[in-house]
Amino acid sequence: MKKFWKIGLSAFLAVGLLAACGQEAKNDKPVATEQQTQQETPQVDEATFPMTITDAIGKDITLEAPPEKIVSLIPSNTEILFELGLNDEIVGVTDNDDYPPEVAEKDKVGGMEYNIEKIIALKPDIVFSHESSMSLSEAAIEQLESAGLKVFVVKNAQDFNETYTTIELLGRATGKLPEAEKIVANMKEKVEDVLTKVKDVEPKKVLVEASDEPTIYTAGNGTFMNAMLEMIHAENVAADAKDWYEISSEQIIAKNPDVIVVTYHYVPDILTKIPQRAGFDTVNAVKNKAIVQVDESTTSRQGPRLGEGLEELAKAIYPEVFK
């Protein structure tokens, strides 16, 4: 049996940048509108065991009792599971997990590669994988299932409603449905507060940068980020193309965004570096000193802190509204 299952960086970027952080992969669905976000969340059945649940790829998994040992293969799942109060049950997380702080105490099962033997040795009752990385993790899942483990592929949520449903589904599968419903209620309250504050804003043209030059990636139409921008009445200048895609400096200059939102933190002094790019002195975002950095985790991970991410994004684009 292979000890490690390896992922190449180029393939990693191809499925939507930083899949380990819960970023969404390709999506052909229309993005969420404010009205859709305020609609009722689909109901999740009561958490009674034994139960059979169906994952994102149509696979049925039967659970005789709430799992006592859980491995999470993506940070967004991990955040949900911890928020549900499953600290004791979580036995393994990825190297990319950084929230909550308690993840530091958990066994690590890999980041850009999964340590298959270690996952098996942890003897989890269930492993929570994610649809966004299926093209990369399919071989790993097959190995885990061949070893007798149950692997549940969590849906790659494309809007807040689907995120709410994911949280409730994980709550149901772990015997924590009441806790999940409370999390969703708190998220809805935060989202409603943000939408109320930006209700009458004058829309601004926005570009989101997920990586630095020479390979700049941005959020196009069909991404969760684009849906969030639409919710707060921001015009995504990159929405003329789909998914996360590479954009050139020349294209950014031509699109002339009013605000540039930076979601990465691996480049020191990036907020002073961007204005120094050739030709960027003509960009409104540079002229208006409207280049802002947001937390990548809260604004991309499909989990309990997503409402906070929406607020952070709104504050970055419309600081005048939140004074």
HSE-up (13 A, CA, CB side) for residue 123: 1
Q: How high is the pLDDT of residue 4? A: 37
The DSSP secondary-structure symbol of 282 reads G
Q: How high is the pLDDT of residue 47? A: 67
Query: Under 8 Å CB-to-CB from 187, ≥6 apart: which residues?
Result: 160, 163, 164, 167, 304, 306, 307
Q: How high is the pLDDT of residue 16? A: 38
Q: What token pair was written down for 210?
A: 């997920």
- 292 strand-pairing partners: 261
Each residue's pLDDT tens digit in the chain (323 positions)?
Answer: 433 333 333 333 433 344 334 444 433 333 344 444 444 444 445 568 999 999 999 999 999 999 999 999 999 999 999 999 999 999 999 999 999 999 999 999 998 789 999 999 999 999 999 998 887 788 999 999 999 999 999 999 989 999 999 999 999 999 999 999 999 999 999 999 999 999 999 999 999 999 999 999 999 999 999 999 999 999 999 999 999 999 999 999 999 999 999 999 999 999 999 999 999 999 999 999 999 999 999 999 999 999 999 999 999 999 999 98
The SS3 call for residue 294 is: coil
Q: How high is the pLDDT of residue 323? A: 82
CA angle 214, 111, 89 (to 5 degrees): 145
4-6 and 113-115 beta bridge pairing: antiparallel
d(CA 232, CA 53): 34
Query: Under 8 Å CB-to-CB from 121, ≥6 apart: which residues?
Result: none
The DSSP secondary-structure symbol of 221 reads B
d(CA 288, CA 196): 26
Q: How high is the pLDDT of residue 111? A: 84
Q: What token pair was written down for 182?
A: 């409370």
Please choose, from the candidates 33, 57, 23, 19, the residue with its C-alpha nearest in 3D space to the C-alpha of residue 160: 33
Q: How high is the pLDDT of residue 40? A: 44
Q: How high is the pLDDT of residue 7? A: 35
Report the sign of the C-alpha dihedral through residues 97, 99, 100, 102, in that order.
positive
CA angle 234, 236, 237 (to 5 degrees): 130
Q: How high is the pLDDT of residue 136? A: 79
CB contact at 8 A, 122 and 92: yes
Q: How high is the pLDDT of residue 133? A: 84
Q: How high is the pLDDT of residue 176? A: 97
Q: How high is the pLDDT of residue 46? A: 59
